[in-house]
Amino acid sequence: MPREYVWLECTECGSRNYRVQKETRGTERLELRKYCPKSRRHTVHKESRKK
């Protein structure tokens, strides 16, 4: 199964804080609550592909 790296971007401040592996076939975009060091609290992070 092919996997690729994607970045998790904070929805509040827009910084990319985490890089995770994800299966590419037939999956939806990731959305996780992770710690944002810039905001200094847990926020929702959404998947964004590396530009």
Domain map of the chain by residue range? Answer: 3-48
- How much is the pLDDT for 24? 81
Asked if pLDDT for residue 41 goes beyond 90, the answer is yes
Specify whether the CB–CB gap between 36 and 46 falls below 8 A.
Answer: no
> CA 32 → CA 1, 12, 42, 43, distances in Å?
23, 13, 10, 8
Q: Band of the pLDDT at 47, cuts 50, 70, 90? A: very high
- How much is the pLDDT for 17? 92
CATH code of the domain made up of 3-48 = 2.20.28.120
Q: How far apart are CA 28 and CA 13, in angstroms?
A: 23
Q: Which residue has the higher pLDDT, 7 or 25?
A: 7
Q: Band of the pLDDT at 27, cuts 50, 70, 90? A: confident
Q: How far apart are CA 48 and CA 46, in angstroms?
A: 6
Signed CA dihedral, 43, 27, 50, 21: sign only? positive
